[in-house]
Structure 1
């Protein structure tokens, strides 16, 4: 992981949510603990399954609504890989991804690609708002 883009582990989810203008309900706090305990890329179904394994009482609709709220408030990045795969990335800083079509994994591309490729070529009078690049790879057979 690029040390410039790695996020620290969120120690106080109540403060993290409140700081983003989100009312920290118990379900939101529980889902935030799953999402922000380390840097990771999770689908909504993976978040739901992790919540179930931790005996967190939450519906799929609540998971989706919470993920959408966290994206809207800037706590997560939504990464569209294809029509059936959307990942939620706890690293909100600009960076690129590799998506392995064979095993369905999403990993960060190491290095300073955003600086080298994007930042030096921004049109005059603009600022970077986001980067959504997914490089699709396959396992070497």
Structure 2
């Protein structure tokens, strides 16, 4: 399987600069959350981010994680993937790509955008433009 992810620089100063470039003040807790997101090669849920952050510093609340993830989303630092109604994960890879989701194991794998071609879109509501297309291919073992 081909992965789209570019290697993320794990240097904290680079993470701080990345936050600043997106108009985010790099507070201690934001830095910890960003460090977890950008140094792991995984799509993490908010609860997983909280667990990883608090494994290092047990001072971050669930509300802080959710608020920070919302801020990172608004500033386009991460993407939110609704894999199914009960599972939302956050993806630090904002380059165009799609996903393969194993519904049994929960594993989510990046697929290069050019591996999938969208032939056409339905007519969009008047006054709107397409902002992107996110494709999640759900798989399960053959019975």
Q: 1:39 and 1:130, CA in 2 relative to 1: closer, same or farther beyond 3 A?
A: farther
Which runs of no fewer than 5 residues in structure 2 stay unpaired? none
Q: How many residues align?
A: 134
Does the 8 A contact of 2:98 with 2:113 survive in 1? no
Shift, 1:93, TM fit: 1.1
In structure 1, the residue matched to 2:55 is 53
- How far apart in 1 are the matches of 2:140 and 2:60? 35
Q: 1:127 and 1:8, CA in 2 relative to 1: closer, same or farther beyond 3 A?
A: farther
In structure 2, the residue matched to 1:9 is 8
The TM-score, its normalising length taken from structure 1, stands at 0.82
Does the 8 A contact of 1:95 with 1:131 survive in 2? no
- How far apart in 2 are the matches of 1:107 and 1:57? 31
The TM-score, its normalising length taken from structure 2, stands at 0.81
Does the 8 A contact of 1:35 with 1:47 survive in 2? yes
Q: 1:14 and 1:56, CA in 2 relative to 1: closer, same or farther beyond 3 A?
A: farther
1:62 corresponds to 2:64: yes
Shift, 1:79, TM fit: 0.7
RMSD (Å), alpha carbons: 2.4
Aligned mate of 1:18, from 20, 27, 32: 20
- How far apart in 2 are the matches of 1:19 and 1:56? 28
In structure 2, the residue matched to 1:80 is 82
